[in-house]
Amino acid sequence: MPHLTVEYTDNLAGLPGQQLLAELNAVVCGHTTVQDEADVKARLLPLSCFEIGTAPAQRGFVHVQLRLLSGRSDAVKKELSDAMAAVLHRLTPQPPGMLVQLSVEIADMDRASYYKGRL
């Protein structure tokens, strides 16, 4: 059931989107708390209209949100977050003169009401 969403500002030309998703999925699927690799569902959202802070500077960001069914420990969440951050640092391009921020957020999904099925 993990849901992974990657947003990036589209001034980060050359960001290898599909590879980024594949490597983040590998991190999540490789973790012992995930049982079926097919469960990890990742999507990439390029952002064409954005605003970062208030100063007139050249800025960009990549943000990952991973949503997991509630119940994982803080330690597991921190491990996943750090491992995904390492992928971001490796794959995000650095345009000259741009301040690029990277962030990873782990969120719980309510387990009691979650529905999961297949056609």
Which parts of this chain interact with a copy of itself (CB under 8 A)? 1, 3, 7, 9, 17-18, 21-22, 25-26, 29, 36-44, 47, 49-55, 57, 59, 61, 63, 67, 74, 77-78, 80-82, 84-85, 88-89, 92, 94, 99-110, 112-119
Which among 1, 4, 15 is positioned nearest to 81, based on CA atoms?
4
Q: Which two tokens stand for residue 56?
A: 């007139």
> Residue 89: phi, psi to the nearest 5?
-60, -35
Residue 91 Cβ vs a copy of itself, minimum distance, rounded to whole Å: 11
Q: Which of 92, 69, 72, 70 is nearest to 23 (CA)?
A: 92
CB of 35 to a copy of itself, least distance (A): 12
